[in-house]
Amino acid sequence: MAKSSFKMEHPLERRQAEASRIREKYPDRIPVIVERAEKSDVPEIDKKKYLVPADLTVGQFVYVVRKRIKLSPEKAIFIFVKNILPPTAAMMSAIYEENKDEDGFLYMTYSGENTFGLVF
């Protein structure tokens, strides 16, 4: 898995402090970083950091991402967590608890095609 550009731009200590501050201030929200997959033909997203309600499903969050990249309805989008396609009915809080990074953020990658082919 390619290293996140967010991780390369910000040192671990700063990311940990930011995620910790966010979780204290907004305990019902999840800090998520969304980045485009390296070889994806889908447009780049205009915003990488999200504070996602814990009770949002993955499917609902995919809808948010689709709107941010202004993707036409006939185009498919796939969201990956650690190169795995999470179930759309899963709660973001469950995905966060199982897959959060050591810095406290949940990293998600999106692509126009199922580049990894794995499903939870």
Name all contacts of 93-96 with Cβ < 8 Å and 24+ positions apart.
93/30, 93/54, 93/55, 95/58, 96/30, 96/32, 96/54
Residue 1's pLDDT is 46
Q: What is the pLDDT of residues 26-59, one digit of tens each?
A: 999 999 999 999 888 889 999 999 999 999 999 9
Residue 118 within any structural domain of the chain: no
Residue 62 within any structural domain of the chain: yes
CATH of the domain at 17: 3.10.20.90
Residue 119 within any structural domain of the chain: no
Confidence band (pLDDT; 50, 70, 90) for 115? low
Q: Which domain holds residue 70?
A: 5-111
Residue 3's pLDDT is 62
Confidence band (pLDDT; 50, 70, 90) for 11? very high
pTM of the model: 0.89
Whether the predicted pLDDT of 4 surpasses 60: yes
Residue 120 within any structural domain of the chain: no
Q: What is the pLDDT of residues 64-114, one digit of tens each?
A: 999 999 888 888 899 999 999 999 999 999 999 999 999 999 999 999 876
Residue 116 within any structural domain of the chain: no
Residue 91's pLDDT is 98
Q: How many domains is the chain partitioned into structurally?
A: 1
